[in-house]
Structure 1
Amino acid sequence: MNEDLLQFIWSMQLLETNALFTSDNEKIEILQAGTLNTNAGPDFLHAKIKIGDTIWAGHIEIHIKASDWKLHAHQTDPAFNNVILHVVLMDDGYDNGIPVLELNGKIPGRLLNKYAAMMQTAAWIPCEKHINQFPEIKWKSWLQRLTAERLEQKALHIEERLHYNKNDWEETCYQLIARSFGAPINSDAMEQVANALPLKTILRHKNDPTQVEALIFGTAGFLESSYKELYPHKLQSEYRFLKNKFELIAPSLQWKFSRLRPASFPTIRLSQLAALICKTDALFDKLILQNDVKKMESVFAIHPGEYWKEHYHFKKAAKVSVSGLGKSTIQIILMNTVAPIKYLYGLKNGKQEMIDDAIALLEKLKPEKNSIIANWAQLGFTAMNAAESQAMIQLKKEYCDNRNCLHCHVGYFVLGMQE
């Protein structure tokens, strides 16, 4: 038993009896259970109860034991001055002058058994046996909430980076795009390259693709080996000059090639990043301040230099030409990077239309394909677009995996079902 479960039971009034009495044996009638408070202060606000012949209006506090009132120091907090009822699982005798209602013995056993089963099950999601009874209209509404929640969660991480970059949206956008180019397993390394190599530095040489590649591959640590071919030698020479000119410090990186298709090799991705920067010097304007998906996708219609049409690596010739980004990769970048930045920009600048545009962008993109989405489909819940697939990922990771059922609309419904 925990306070979250007690709050759920109180909010739904899932008690076995209407014959309720205080610890002083005064009859209680619950006229209004109150509104759950998600901020500091009492657990339920603006409740109305009748004790004996007197009707009281005020707040309600929930605890496991009556003495938790003192443990939490509520007696010194003015926010609790208007509490009219102290609801506890067990009354251990602590008297704070407020009527106490003990719930021990008044909670339905079937509810406790169902909750325990959901907490202990080895099923993919706790409510797997009951979720098909959740109304579709409520499912769609919950997915919309989860989409916004996931965007907000991502926006918080981006805001930290934006603060570090002194509110430079363009630099922040560049760093996040670079990170997205490293998916699925080289994201951290790509991000470190972008952090060590400011966009402003690269843009000073954007009209010379060779110098841009020299800066990027040098910072990434790929120009430290000995090469026989002319092009890598040229990059090494350019990088030595540019490194001294800009006093660049290359981070120590571990690049991963194993189990990747050549199209996802970090060398290919770095060459594509170089091509993107040479092509577009205003990523933020052309991606974040843009609403046309086709135009956003066209930003990533990039073609690296001739060398990378014939190589996967500096020492490895390509059997099949790989140059541009695939459509699915572009969609993932729009979904995981562009939409969250757009959402944050709307939040920070009070532009609701930008927030709506971020969600609309996800609704226009295809759902991603991964094991989480596949498992939801097996349960009968198919994502129709990227907004829904992102919502389903949020639901699984933040609620199902954490057994956060009491704060989930599905879990709330399942636990409150009458059987």
Structure 2
Amino acid sequence: MLTKSNNTIMQFRVIDIDGKEVVRVERKNIGSEVMSTNESLLQDKGDRYYFTESMKLAEREVSISNIDLNVEFGVIEHPIKPTLRFATPFFLNGLKSGIVIINFFANDILQHFKSLKHIDIYLANKTGSYISHPDGKLNFTKDYNVKSNIFNDFPFMSKVKDSGFYFDKKKLMAKKIVLSKSSCFYVIYNIQKAYLSRIHKEQIILSLLLYLLSGIYAFFMSVLLSKYPSDKYEKRINEIESMKTYASKMKSKMVELHDSSYLDPLTSVFNRRYFDEKLMSYFESNEIFSMILIDIDHFKKVNDTYGHDEGDRVLIELTQLLSANIRETDFLARWGGEEFSIVLKNSDKKSVVDIADKLRKITEQYDFGFKKNITCSFGIAIREEGEEIDPVFKRADNALYEAKKQGRNRVVIR
């Protein structure tokens, strides 16, 4: 019943005082059917470290293993199965008689760390042996008897404490994750230089901390709630609930910072930074998109004649006008000054031209409160499959220049 209640449980076992499996229930893959192991296939686990460590525990104490590879009959199982184990001794008539141990599939935990974009992750167990490394050949060094060790490769790791992030001179961030008295992990976040130059340090810290806390919270809540309740578990749940509250506060702060860094302060639409990152995401996924560059005609005259406050009002009202007349799947950004850009996905040439011309007419007909109407020029380019970003932007920019050259208040596509 316990194994069926949580599909991340790989094995539930009872091992006697001599290290021999007495009961073994398992599933081969996450979510697959639970099966009871035939008595002839029960194994001797007396030489496994998790057995000897768990046998040293007092009643109701729980040990948490390293994340390592599952071993069957003395050989690493293939396909490999990263595993995390929870174990506790059991007593009969007051005498320690063996351990109860639950194995969890650890793939999701590892994927949680690896899914951080633009960041190389080094994850090691308490002795410094790598669990995960940017160089895949150094994954699970202890299991494969590889000597590479996080404490040797990064000497500053000896300074990492049980709380907070540690920063070294090379802008690496390190964290010690304590799971129990006998179990911990070490993590190094190596932020790629190109990405680091685009993101504020404070945002990265908040993002990583939130990500880390949310992942640990989700995993351990699923583990703890699948066990029988006890005072120790209730205390741990309360601690993790506190982590959740803290993570929620951090999330609010992160959202606030995120919004301020991606929004134009005057118009509240996306800024050029967001525009660049969005385009890069489209490029990396090889998506087809269209780009419209927009420039307000004779905007300098508005500022010179009516003042910059009125010019700012025009910018604000124009962004509201444009935003209200594009699709939900399109995004508008202020490129700079009186220039704006719109990126559209899944649009053919006719659709993009029609949208741009619609925006042109709406702008021309809108009453900005001046004697002469405000107009805009539009330049369009459609990305072709496999095309780099720079040529697309250059074609849109050339189209905008051509629209200006032809007399303004018109749409040109290149």
Which structure carries more relative contact order (alpha carbon 8 Å, separation 6+)?
A: 1
TM over 0.5: no
The normalised TM-score by structure 1 is 0.23
**Structure showing the higher helix proportion among its residues:** 1
Q: Which has the higher strand share?
A: 2
TM superposition score normalised by structure 2: 0.23
